[in-house]
Amino acid sequence: MDTRRKLEVLADAAKYDASCASSGSKSTRRGSRLGSTEGMGICHSYTPDGRCVSLLKLLLTNYCVYDCKFCVNRVSSDTPRARFTVAEVIDLTVEFYRRNYIEGLFLSSGIVGSIDGTMEQLVAVARGLREGHGFGGYIHLKLIPGASAELVAEAGRWADRLSANIELPTAQDLHQLAPEKTRADITGTMTTVADGIAERAADRKAGLKAPVFAPAGQSTQMVVGATPTTDGVILGTADELYRTQKLRRVYYSAYSPTPHADARLPALRPPLLREHRLYQADWLLRFYGFEVSEVVAPGANLALDVDPKLAWALANRDRFPVDVNAAPRELLLRIPGVGVRNVERILAVRRHHALTVADLRALRVNWKSAAPFVLTGDHNPALRKLDTVGLKKSVQPTLFDDLDGYA
Amino acid sequence: MIVTAPDFAAWRGAARALLAAEVSPADVLFDDGTAPGLFAAAELPPVPAGPALEVPRAFVALAESVSCHRDPQRWGRLYRALWRLTRGEPHLLDLATDDDVAWLFRAEKSVRRDAHKMKAFVRFRKVGEHFVAWHRPDHRIVRRVAPFFRRRFPEMHWSVLTPDDSVTWDREGLHFGPGVSARDAPPPDVLEDMWKTYYRATFNPARIKLKAMKKELPVRHWATLPEAALIPDLLAEAADRVAAMVQHSEGTPSAADFLPATRDLDGLRAAARDCTACGLCGPIVPPVFGTGPADARIALVGDQPDTSGAADELLDTALEEAGIDRAAVYRTTAVKQTAFAERDGAREPRRANAREVGACRPWLLAELAALRPAVIVCLGPLAAKAVLGPLFRFTERRGEVLPAGGTIAIATHFPATILRAPEEARAEIWAELVTHLARALELAGAGYHPPSHYSSRVPY
Ligand code: SF4
């Protein structure tokens, strides 16, 4: 099989992986002869599915002995198979990089032979790029859960980011749909990475010149919609991972019908809007100081018709209106339509003069959402308005605004 | 007065002089040289000696960035901001809602975004040993962005050409030159097809979000992006591809769908009669379930029902040699019906494939769970993988005692292997088989506690 055909098969097989970002590495590796990681988060292209192409996202092989039901590469799927050599992946990465098509490589693999044998191959690609080509671009390696700690440690030396997929929000879901994977193996591998990162940070704090270890941290991915598990449980799992494993990102991937899907899975269009709401809720947890329990109850799902921040405001009307000239930062962050950056700007402006509606408009806050919830010198939404039944309708952005008429 | 300011350095010098001479922003008009001025530029007042005026560092950075903007207003806006900063409004930049500040912030954002797009959308094409790109930025940002490419591609000899400026890196220095028209852009190189192949393959037709895409990949850049030419086709095909995907959910049904609520051996056996999960069974060839006493201490798992009886006979002999009472063991298989292949018009048994083994596995696991034997003996690699997980390596680990879902298992040869093995190897295989069986007998009596570190790897 020629390289081009392999590329076709192995990029196609990798596209269901949600992570694509190349962000998180703060500086370029010393001594690199080709590539840098200073342009954090550069997306070199976008596909019509609205996702960015930042990394060359490939599988080393899509042969796999596992039978995870949601995965197009599971052993029982009749998808076409291919296998790259280590040299082929290195070559493609370098040549694509030289033309400025990509920020680096995202490499994953089906599991063949043994767990460590597969992991070794992934590590060999990263090592070859760094040592053989002085490659300083971004590398994200997917870890095979259960791989030996030595291999994970070596992966951390060459890669910017590591990730082991949690796959599904609960251990029962995993047991049902990915029978060969165990939560213990997955979290064990995550812990090895978290320990490696913590160890390096401690060494550096002590003034030692510690070798790099996954400078862009670790992330994970969860398939959403393949089981009936609720958003409350999903976000609970994510929150726990952020806290215990210090993950940088949790990616949510709406279960997408694959060309060779298992019949027990929903042959539906992927729940994209739900995925979008999960990302919004996740954002609230990480940057807005929300607790999971404020965003959604464990047994419930996020509302699809309003974003989670607006939903919280509507459910907590007694906390509003918020006086933008007096409220503390935490409260400003809770106003619908006002983002983190604008909160900082409001705080800066109000040190010098009181804000008016014109000021908020000049900051381009989403006035339609924000108006009933804020109080300025010249704007006092009658409390009556906050109590109206129709409020939700009047502040709600057009449904599917950001989904381009999909759904 | 009119002041010529073609670039940042010229503006900066002029602004210093004007500020020192207390020329109010209302009295000065900056001409950035893009259009021929109606009036001749005025002489700048002399800069008086003495320390330069201090302005916040943030303003210098802002001004440098805004100076790349194409809007002719920029110099006037910057001068007015400078004037206000030094005349009683030192906190001007905090006032994001002020008209001047808001304009400058927007201009800065526009330049930043354009610089970001340039870093992303420059596409080098290889011409000999030289990498050349043609790109069309919105603002005059070539000098601002060039150092980024120098740091990124130090070993390459490259040029970036734009309608206003061009820059070349010869591995020693950056050299700036005049603009180049789109006609003089380099031709595609061989790798572009690979890139398009990648682009096409990485797109998921089930998730079209065109508006989101156009927001990030503005249509005005499409002309210089080779992959953009594919977009109309990808969109046109998408609906059909999704329909095909949904339809093609041919799936691998699984016996899990047929498992009954009560999972004792009789219940399982009865329910299995309806199983059509993998297609091997049917009304005429119902599943062949395990046989043997329900309280057996030893369960033997083969690959599939033995149609000839030859393998069973050999197994009986081996059991006898190992000292096992064959009436006391439970015998079952990984797949509950024999697979056949057509060859030259004749039907002959074949090995079950991964899809069939996977589909049937729920029966096997339920059967073993109901039986709770003290020891499971897996006969051959296929049965061993069904019991011990797909990564089990038969050649290396047969004969080892391994934990398996709350009990223990040992993998050994499938008796019929002996018939296929070369003459000289047979005795050895046979001896191993008997030894392993004897070990199983011993374990069935002894009770055994698996080492705890294994337990997380057990697949069921
Ligand atoms: S071989 Fe197993 S899975 Fe296939 S139809 Fe028979 S019982 Fe069902």
pLDDT in tens, B437-447: 999 999 988 65
What per-residue confidence (pLDDT) applies to B452?
Answer: 42
Q: Tell me, what's the pLDDT at A140?
A: 95
Percentage of residues in chain A having pLDDT higher than 70: 90
Distance of alpha carbon A257 from alpha carbon A308, whole angstroms: 26
Cα of B284 vs centre of ligand 1, distance in Å, is: 13
CB-nearest to B195 from A9, A76, A101 is A101
pLDDT digits (tens, 9 = 90+) for A361-379: 888 888 888 888 988 877 7
A306, pLDDT greater than 80: yes
Judging contacts by C-beta atoms under 8 Å, the chain B residues touching residue A9 are 201
Written as six digits, the tokens of B443 are: 């374990």
CB atoms within 10 A of CB B406: 12
Instruction: Specify the pLDDT at position B361.
Output: 87
Position with higher pLDDT, A11 vs A48:
A11
pLDDT of B48 reads: 66
Please answer whether residues B70 and B33 qualify as being in contact, where contact means their C-beta atoms are separated by less than 8 angstroms: no
Whole-number Å distance between alpha carbons of B389 and B409: 12
- Per-residue pLDDT for A407 more than 60? no
> Cα angle vertex A323, ends A318, A329, to 5°?
95
Q: Please report the pLDDT score of residue B161 as a whole number.
A: 96
Shortest-distance Cα residue to atom 3 of ligand 1: B360
What is the structure's pLDDT at A38?
Answer: 82
Instruction: Looking at mean pLDDT, say which of A149-163, A334-348, B307-321, B392-406 comes out highest.
Output: A149-163
Tell which residue, B93, B100, B78, B81, has the closest CA to residue B30.
Answer: B78
Please enumerate, as own/partner, the contacts of B108-112 that have beta carbons within 8 Å and a separation of 24 or more. B108/B62, B108/B65, B108/B66, B110/B69, B110/B138, B110/B139, B111/B65, B111/B66, B111/B68, B111/B69, B111/B139, B111/B141, B111/B144, B112/B65
pLDDT of residue B42: 66
What is the pairing mode between strands B125-127 and B130-134? antiparallel
Q: Sorting pLDDT into bands at 50, 70 and 90, what band is A60? A: very high
At B451, is the pLDDT very low, low, confident or very high (cuts 50, 70, 90)? very low
- Tell me which residue has its CA closest to atom 6 in ligand 1: B281
Which pLDDT does position B142 carry in this prediction?
96
Burial degree of B200 (CB within 10 A; 0-12, 13-18, 19+):
middle
The pLDDT of B69-77, averaged and rounded, is: 93
Q: Does an H or E element contain B332, and which?
A: strand B330-333
Closest-CA residue to A159 (of A74, A66, A93): A93
Q: Per-residue pLDDT for B189 more than 50?
A: yes
Q: Which tokens in the block code for residue B261?
A: 């609520």
Residues paired with A250 in a beta bridge: A220
Per cent of chain A over pLDDT 90 is 44
Check A182 against B457: CB less than 8 A apart. Answer: yes
**Pairwise CB contact (< 8 Å): A56 & B198:** yes
In the numeric block, the tokens 């996740």 are attached to A282
The rounded Å distance from CA B275 to ligand 1 centre is 6
What pLDDT, on a 0 to 100 scale, did the predictor assign at position B250? 47
Tens digits of per-residue pLDDT, B235-270?
888 877 776 665 544 455 677 778 888 888 888 888
CA of B440 to the centre of ligand 1 (A): 28
**CB distance A224 to A254 below 8 Å:** yes
The pair of structure tokens assigned to B119 is 């870093």
Q: B152, B224, B241, B385: which to substitute to probe chain A, counting the most A Cβ within 10 Å? A: B152
- pLDDT tens digits, A88-132: 999 999 999 999 999 999 999 999 888 999 999 999 999 999 999
- The pLDDT of residue B355: 76
d(CA B43, CA B38): 16
Please give the pLDDT value at position B218. 87
**Average pLDDT across chain B, whole number:** 86
Going from the C-alpha of B217 to that of each of A46, A98, A106, B213, B231, the distances in angstroms are: 6, 21, 22, 6, 12
Any idea what DSSP says for residue A63?
Answer: -
If pLDDT is split at 50, 70 and 90, which confidence band does A389 have? low
Q: Is residue A246 left, alpha or beta, with left meaning phi > 0 and alpha meaning psi from -120 to 50?
A: left
Residue of A nearest to B387 (CA): A180
Close Cβ partners of A132 (under 8 Å, ≥ 6 residues apart): A90
Q: Label residue A332 by pLDDT band (50, 70, 90).
A: very high
Q: Indicate whether residue B338 lines ligand 1 (CB < 6 A).
A: no
Contact list in A for residue B233 (CB cut-off 8 A) is none
Q: Which two tokens stand for residue B376?
A: 């499971």
Higher pLDDT, residue B275 or B455 = B275
Residue indicated by tokens 């992570």: A19
CA angle A278, A284, A285 (to 5 degrees): 90
Q: Is the pLDDT of residue B90 over 70?
A: yes
Separation of alpha carbons B404 and A224, rounded Å: 30
Does B433 contact ligand 1 (Cβ within 6 A)? no
Query: Which value, to the nearest 10 degrees, does the dihedral of the CA atoms of residues A341, A346, A347, A349 take?
Result: 120
In a mutational test of the pocket of ligand 1, which residue from B360, B361, B365 has the highest number of ligand atoms less than 8 Å from its CB? B360
For the record, the structure tokens of B153 come out as 């591609």
Rounded Cα distance, B137 and B166, in Å: 12
Q: Which long-range contacts (CB under 8 A, 24 or more apart) does A237-241 make?
A: A237/A166, A237/A169, A237/A170, A238/A282, A238/A285, A239/A285, A239/A292, A241/A166, A241/A190
Distance from the Cα of B401 to chain A's closest Cα (Å) equals 19
Q: What is the DSSP track for A297-308?
A: -TT----SSS-H
Q: Is B253 in the pocket of ligand 1 (CB under 6 A)?
A: no
The C-alpha R_g of chain A, in whole angstroms, comes to 23
B16: tokens are 């210093």
- CA A260, CA A176: separation in Å to the nearest integer? 18
Residue with tokens 């109901």: B370
Counting residues of chain B whose pLDDT is more than 70, the rounded percentage is 90
Q: Say if the Cβ atoms of B213 and A100 lie within 8 Å.
A: no
Q: In this complex, do B207 and A49 lie within 8 Å of one another by their Cβ atoms? A: yes
pLDDT per residue over B26-39, tens digit each?
Answer: 988 888 766 555 55
Q: Which of A203-217, B150-164, B271-285, B440-454 has the lowest mean pLDDT?
A: B440-454
What's the mean pLDDT in B289-300? 91
How high does pLDDT run on average in chain A? 86
Q: Give the angle B91-A363-A288 at the CA atoms, nearest 5°.
A: 100
Q: pTM for the full model?
A: 0.80
**Side chain identity at residue B169, one-letter code:** W
- pLDDT grade, residue A281 (50/70/90)? very high
pLDDT reading at B384 higher than 60: yes
